[in-house]
Amino acid sequence: MKRNLLFCLIMFAVIVSGCSNKPKISEIFKTQLMKFLEEGAKTNAEASQGVSYLELREQVANTAAAYDLLSATWSTNFSVDCRKDFDKALQAWGLTLDLWNKKVNQKDEPTEPNINGYARYLAFGEKLLVIETHKWDYLVESYRGKKYIPFDENIRVLLTIAGVSFDSGRDKILRELQ
């Protein structure tokens, strides 16, 4: 009887220790995660305080590099939702830089059907972006009556989407690690 009780207690301990709700995280992942969270927080802070194109480009590059290293150590079954949020944030920061680069280099605003990446912006967030229509007397005749993505409004929108997505991912992963 004592033997059976002891066996049951040992099995219970093995089952409980093997079924912990806490994910098993490697030290390298934790280190890379902290680096990425720091870089992402800097990117958000710069974006919200006002930043130049060159400063944002450099900071997004730092954040993307940290995420690349983090991704290499990320377990496939760990915190999929927050990873999606981080992917969305990086995509939004990338689209922000792309749009801002077009503005700085005096390119045309993305215009339908797919001038300067119009379709790529729509695929990212048609319902989130500001989309306007060129007037019928617009200077470029082939753009008249076509929808386009204005630079300034959408740079702000994309930075907001990136910030919200990053913060959401950060909050989810920190809750999961507690």
Residue 63 or residue 18, greater confidence: 63
12: pLDDT strictly greater than 90: no
Token pair for residue 104? 């700085």
Give the ranges where 19-150 is alpha helix by DSSP (H): 27-49, 53-73, 80-104, 118-125
Question: In this structure, is residue 10 part of a structural domain?
Answer: no
Kindly state the average pLDDT of the residues 91-100. 98
The 10s digit of each residue's pLDDT in 24-70 is: 778 888 899 999 999 999 999 999 998 999 999 999 999 999 999 99
As a whole number of angstroms, the distance between CA 103 and CA 120 comes to: 17
The 10s digit of each residue's pLDDT in 116-148 is: 999 999 999 889 999 999 999 999 999 999 999
Token pair for residue 78? 């760990």
Question: In this structure, is residue 56 part of a structural domain?
Answer: yes
Q: Is residue 133 helix, strand or coil?
A: strand
Could you give the number of structural domains in the chain? 1
Question: In this structure, is residue 65 part of a structural domain?
Answer: yes
Question: In this structure, is residue 138 part of a structural domain?
Answer: yes
Question: In this structure, is residue 68 part of a structural domain?
Answer: yes
The 10s digit of each residue's pLDDT in 62-91 is: 999 999 999 998 887 777 789 999 999 999
Question: In this structure, is residue 22 part of a structural domain?
Answer: no
What is the residue range of 132's domain? 27-177
Question: In this structure, is residue 75 part of a structural domain?
Answer: yes
Q: Do residues 103 and 69 touch, judged by C-beta distance below 8 A?
A: no
Question: In this structure, is residue 16 part of a structural domain?
Answer: no
